[in-house]
Amino acid sequence: MQGHRKLMTICCAAVLSLGLVACGGGGDDDTAQAPVTMPDPEPAPGPTDLEDTQAAAAAAAAAAMTASTNASASATSAAEATATLATLQTGADSNAADMGGREAAMAAHAAANEAEAAASAAATASAAAAAAADGAAGEAAWRMAVAAQEEAEAAEAVAASMAEAAIAAAMTELHVDGTVKSVGDSSVDADADTTTNPAGDRITGFIGNVPRSLGAVEGQAYVEASNTPYRQAVDARNLKIAKSVDTSDDTARLTVFHSRFSTVMARVYVVNDAGTAVTGPVTDDGRLQTAGTGTPDDATDDTFITLKSLGMHYEAAEGNTGDVADSLDHTDSVGATTKPKELFSYEDTTGNTIHVVETTRTIAGTTTTVTYQPVDTLAPAAPDGHGPANDDQVAVGGTDTDETPESIPVRASIPVADPYSHIHFGVWAGLGAAAKDGSQKYADLGIGFVQNFSGSGVTGRLGIGTVSYTGDWVATVQRQNTVAGTGAINLENGPAALTADFDTKKFTGALTGLATLTGTLDGNGFSGMTAKVDRDHTDLDASGAFVGEFSGAIYGPAGTEAAGVFDFDGGEAGAFRGAFGGRNDDAK
Residues 214 and 125 in one domain: no
The pLDDT score that the predictor gives to residue 397 is: 40
Q: Which of 177, 209, 230 corresponds to the end of one domain?
A: 177
184 falls within a domain: no
Whether residues 471 and 380 share a domain: the answer is no
Structure confidence at residue 503 (pLDDT)? 95
Do 410 and 328 meet the contact criterion of CB atoms below 8 Å apart? yes
State the total domains in the chain: 3
Query: How many angstroms separate the CA atoms of 256 and 275, rounded?
Result: 46
* 360 and 437 share one domain: no
CA distance 315 to 333: 8
**Domain of 108, in residue numbers:** 2-177
Residues 401 and 476 in one domain: no
Q: Which residues of 299-328 are buried (b: 16+ CB within 10 A; e: fewer)?
A: eeebeebebeebeebbbbebeeeebeebbb
| Same domain membership, residue 489 and residue 387 | no
Q: How high is the pLDDT of residue 230?
A: 52
Position 124 in a domain: yes
118 assigned to some structural domain: yes
Residues 478 and 536 reside in one and the same domain: yes
Please list, residue by residue across 549-566, b when 16 or more beta carbons sit within 10 angstroms of its beta carbon and e when fewer do. bbbbbbbbeebbbbbbbb
Distance of CA 239 to the CA centre of its chain: 18
Task: Write down the pLDDT at residue 265.
Answer: 82
Distance (Å, whole) CA 310 – CA 345: 7
| Region at 574 (left for phi over 0; alpha for psi -120 to 50; beta for the rest) | left
CATH number at residue 553: 2.40.160.90
- What is the pLDDT at residue 37? 44
Sign, CA dihedral 540-501-263-253, equals negative
User: Is residue 185 domain-resident?
Assistant: no
* Whether residue 383 sits in one domain with residue 452: no
- Identity of the residue numbered 175: H
Is the alpha carbon torsion for 313, 317, 321, 322 positive or negative?
Answer: negative
387, 403, 419 - which closes a domain: 419
Q: Is 196 within the bounds of a domain?
A: yes
- Within this chain, do residues 198 and 146 fall inside the same structural domain, yes or no? no
Report yes or no: 426 and 272 within 8 Å, Cβ to Cβ.
no
Per-residue pLDDT 10s for the chain (588 aa) are: 333 333 333 233 323 233 333 233 333 444 333 344 444 555 544 566 888 999 999 999 999 999 999 999 999 999 999 988 888 888 765 665 567 888 999 999 999 999 999 999 999 999 999 999 888 898 999 999 999 999 999 999 999 999 999 998 888 788 888 777 877 767 777 777 555 555 544 444 666 788 887 776 655 554 444 444 556 778 888 888 998 887 766 677 888 999 998 888 888 898 888 888 999 888 877 788 887 766 655 556 678 889 999 999 999 887 655 544 567 776 778 888 888 999 999 988 888 899 999 999 999 888 889 999 999 888 766 444 444 444 344 444 444 444 444 577 788 888 889 999 999 999 988 776 544 444 566 777 888 999 888 888 899 988 889 999 999 999 999 999 999 888 888 889 999 999 999 999 999 999 999 999 999 999 999 999 999 999 989 899 999 999 999 999 999 999 999 999 999 999 999 999 999 999 998 865
505 belongs to a structural domain? yes
Judgement on whether residues 172 and 197 belong to the same structural domain of the protein: no
432 and 412 belong to one structural domain:
no
At 250 the three-state DSSP class reads coil
In a domain, 330, yes or no: yes
Q: Greatest CA span in the chain, whole angstroms?
A: 122
Residue 186 included in any domain:
no
The reply to whether 170 and 216 lie within a common domain is no
* Contacts of 127 by beta carbon, 8 Å cutoff, 6+ apart: none
**Could you say which of 130, 146, 177 is where a domain stops?**
177
User: Can you give the pLDDT at residue 488?
Assistant: 86
Predicted local confidence at residue 168, as pLDDT: 87
What span, in angstroms and rounded, lies between the C-alpha atoms of 149 and 493? Answer: 57
Residue 219: per-residue pLDDT: 56
Q: Are residues 408 and 431 in the same domain?
A: no
pTM of the model: 0.70
- Helix or strand or coil: residue 17? helix
